[in-house]
Structure 1
Amino acid sequence: MGHHDALSWLDDIADARRAAGLRRTLRSRTPGSALVDLASNDYLGLVRHPEVLDAAATALRRWGGGATGSRLVTGTTTEHELLERELAGFVGAESGLVFASGYAANLGAVTALGGRDALIVSDAGCHASLVDACRLSRSRVVITPHADVEAVGAALASRTEPRALVLTDSVFSADGDLAPLRALHRVCREHGALLLVDEAHGIGVRGDGGRGLVQEAGLAGQPDVVVTATLSKSLASQGGVVLGDERVRAHLIDAARTFIFDTGLAPAAVGAARGALTVLRREPERAVAVLGRARDLARITGAAEPQSAVVSVILGDPQVAYDAAQACRERGLHVGCFRPPSVPEGTSRLRLTSRANLDDSDMSVIESVLTDVLAAAHA
């Protein structure tokens, strides 16, 4: 019997991706890079803030390099519990539970709150972590058109399951638009459904002092609202959290597999997030500055008025978007490039992310580079 290459199918897929302009590569960052950053999710500009670094180093020295075990065994420290209480207090929730990543928080929350006796209604624009959570939930899942409250209501009205869970991002990561949270909550309450809101891109940007879109919508602390978030964007660290009613926290400790079976978040990451939250509480103007710089980016690029830190410049063709991103990089500007499957076919784009600490010299570089690059891309 001749030798069979069990991985030959991967060559065919790689060739097809290359032909479609969808091949992805890793590019290492170097310390002290001279590139102006419009690609990261460090919205508040805190990832190198001295207080954040000191808080991380203090936790590292106190607890060591890792959590040493799952949260239920040895992986819970007093640092974890302090962060949970501080985050819950900040957003106006009753309690919080920290996970090893934002992805794990969404998987854990949705699978534990879903199940065969629950209907899940999910916005078509939800983050991949919520999409995967739906697939793992064993629930019947209805995907509704983006931000279509009427479709959510219709799905809830026709359900036969005893329970229902509605999923949405607060700020959608590709377009940066906002979910209609008040209307969604009204329809959830009419039908006895739980509303789960992923605030990954809302915390630190929307709401009073960066407390998130749920707080801005007047829904903070509502027992039928569960908030998930990541610590890796505005809070300049790593990890995830679920915030809500104390009964939700207790249930997740018992039932969320990504909590029970995963090693706890490293203490240094917990310390960094606590440090960032301390700075945000003291300097709420950072949240205002993020939106101000986002408006500057929209003016430069001709994009729509931004509602978050995300400014999307749609170019259509994936190769055009990739080439534009490379041209920016060659001129000292790092921008995000979103292509399918991250965004729908025909909507490949430059994804620009505002930061509170972009200064006037940064903006001068940004305006010069983007004006030239976008003119060439549209030519």
Structure 2
Amino acid sequence: MVTERLKRSIALRKSAGLHRSPVTIEKHVGSSAVVNGKSLINFASNDYLGLAQDTDWKNTIAKCFQAYPPSGTSSRLVTGHSQFTEDVEQEFAAYFGYDEAIFFPSGYQANLAVLWGLCSPAEMLFYDKRIHASMVQGLAQTGGTLKGFAHSNLEQLDRKLTAAQAENPVVLTESLFSMDGDLLDTATFGALRSKHAFFSILDEAHAVGVLGTNGTGVGGDCADIAVGTFGKALGMFGAFALLPKGFKEFFNNFSSPAIYSTAMPEAHAAAASSLLQKLPQLEDKREHIAHLSAYMRSELQDAGFTIFGDAHIISILVGDEVKATNIVHKMQEDGVLAFASRYPTVPMNKAVIRISMTALHSTEDVHTFVNSIRGWYDRT
């Protein structure tokens, strides 16, 4: 029976150290989260700029939902296409340096919509093997020929593109990888784009808001399409795709996630428009994150840990899945909340403790984290 099979599957997950159970957050207070009545310094949040807790920003969003409809009422192709939302999408496109933009309920849906709406069996798709699960899920449904390349290995990508001699090559990667925390070498990637004339799709979910001029990300010079999210640094919900001129028409005709989903509400568009006024004013937060992230990397390396990460996402190599899980549980005793990333999010036996630095953290928070993981790593 289905029920018995599911029970066995859960038991196997637990024995392998791969069982997942969401942490229940009772409330957020600054850089901390309250779990089971205990305040823990939160190194597992993607609220990079701290906007989700910003009182002024919350008041702005509340006013937007008071002034505008909170529902899109239907899909865009029925009666959900709002001129107001269309105008704000154009504001977004201009801010980030693209021709068009379209809003989605989530980054997962945006990535699926991009792949299913724009790629077909006519394309050969080259992808970094560590791209987000939403892109991986979308690849097979395109019907295109799939060519993976080793993570961040642009030399291998070059060789594969040269060998394939594809008529319609498409390359998928991320600008800031969500688990490894490494940045795309945009200069080399851009040079390869010029050399091979491929169409590039870049996931900028973890870069927008924090990196680039006024938080515009890092891929503007080498991406044909970029996907960003409101739900991380931008302190909202939903996502957006940034596009070349004329591409929204493809979504309306070929992308089922766009065609069959209820449109985003005008209240969301109003908040998004307000966000564009706020982002340029947050340079002090971006500088703080950059400084504190560099400090955390330095402290962890001095403590003897093998780490990955070029910006505000840092991964600490553990290897064994059970060990990684046990360490983060023990760290809660020291008032630290961290995240153990395990298979299938990362390769088997390559488990990491993945931490996110935010504008809410302090140097004292860094010291608490490093002392905690150093204390438990060899005892767990």
Deviations 1:225-265 (A, max 9, x none): 21111111111111111112112222223222111111123
Name the CA distance, whole Å, in 2 between partners of 1:332 and 1:244.
Answer: 43
Note if contact 2:181-2:308 (Cα within 8 Å) is conserved in structure 1. Answer: no
Q: Is the 8 A contact 1:206 1:287 kept in 2?
A: yes
Q: Secondary structure at the match of 1:112?
A: helix
The 5 A counterparts of 1:225-304 are 225-302=224-301, 304=307
Q: Deviations over 1:296-330 (max 9, x none)?
A: 22133225584221011111111221122112223
1:96 is aligned, of 84, 98, 101, to: 101
Distance 2:264 2:187 in 1: 33
Contact kept? 2:112, 2:257, Cα under 8 Å? yes
1:106-130 alpha-carbon deviations (Å, 9 max, x no partner)? 1111122210111110011111111
Matched letter for residue 12 of structure 1: R
Bigger mean CA deviation after superposition, 102-111 or 74-83: 74-83
User: Percent identity among equivalent residues?
Assistant: 24
TM-score (norm 2): 0.89
The answer to whether structure 1 residue 28 and structure 2 residue 31 are counterparts is: no
The whole-number CA distance in structure 2 between the counterparts of 1:197 and 1:39 is 24
| Cα-Cα RMSD | 2.1
Alignment of 1:135-150 (within 5 A): 135-150=140-155
In structure 2, relative to structure 1, the CA distance for the partners of 1:300 and 1:269 (3 Å cut) is farther
C-alpha spacing 1:272/1:328, structure 2 compared with 1 (3 Å): farther
C-alpha separation between the residues in 2 aligned to 1:305 and 1:27? 24
- Is the CA contact 1:237–1:270 (under 8 Å) kept in the aligned structure 2? no
Q: Which amino acid aligns with 1:199?
A: E
Contact 1:206 1:212 in 2 (8 A): yes
- Give the whole-Å Cα distance in 2 for the aligned partners of 1:287 and 1:49: 15
CA offsets, 1:77-131, max 9 Å, x none? 4553344223222221122111111111111111222101111100111111111
**Residues 315, 347 of structure 1: 8 Å contact kept:** yes
CA 1:153 to 1:372, structure 2 compared with 1: closer, same or farther past 3 Å?
A: closer
Alpha-carbon distance in 2 for matches of 1:268, 1:327: 42
- Decide whether aligned partners of structure 1 residues 86 and 52 sit closer, same or farther in structure 2, where only a CA change above 3 A counts: farther
Aligned partners of 1:70 and 1:262 also within 8 Å: yes
- Does the CA-based 8 Å contact 2:73-2:80 persist in structure 1? yes
How far 1:267 sits from its partner (Å)?
Answer: 4.4
- Aligned pairs, number: 366
Unaligned residue ranges in structure 2 (runs of 5+): 29-33
Q: 1:102 to 1:110 in 2, by over 3 A?
A: same
Give the superposition deviation at 1:149: 1.9
Residue 202 in structure 1 maps to residue 207 in structure 2: yes
Where does residue 52 of structure 2 map in the other structure? 47
Deviations 1:15-60 (A, max 9, x none): 2111111111122211243322211101111112233212321232
Q: Provide the residue aligned with 2:65 in structure 1.
A: 60
For structure 1, the 5+ residue unaligned runs are none
Secondary structure at the aligned position of 1:35 is classed as: strand
Q: Deviations over 1:321-341 (max 9, x none)?
A: 112211222322221221111
Q: Structure 1, residues 259-285: CA drift from partner, whole Å, max 9, x if none?
A: 111112344544444444432212223
Deviation (angstroms), 1:292? 1.3
Instruction: Give the deviation of 1:376 after TM superposition.
Output: 2.1
- Residue 118 (1) aligns with residue 123 (2): yes
Amino acid at match of 2:216: R
Cα deviation, 1:332-353, whole Å, max 9, x if unaligned, reads: 2221221111111222121110
**Would the aligned equivalents of 1:65 and 1:267 in 2 still touch at CA under 8 Å?**
yes
Out of 162, 173, 184, the residue aligned to residue 168 of structure 1 is: 173
Please, which of 57, 61, 79 is the counterpart of residue 74 of structure 1? 79
Which letter maps to 2:246? R
**Aligned positions of 1:211-222 closer than 5 A:** 211-215=216-220, 218-219=221-222
- Given that residues 168 and 196 in structure 1 are in contact (C-alpha distance below 8 angstroms), is that contact kept between their aligned partners in structure 2? yes
Letter in 2 for 1:232: G
Q: In structure 2, the residue corresponding to 1:106 is in which secondary structure?
A: helix
Q: Using the TM superposition, give the Cα deviation of residue 14 of structure 1 relative to its aligned residue in structure 2, in angstroms.
A: 1.4
Q: Distance in 1 between matches of 2:169 and 2:183?
A: 22
Shift of the 365–290 alpha-carbon distance from structure 1 to 2, 3 Å rule, reads: closer
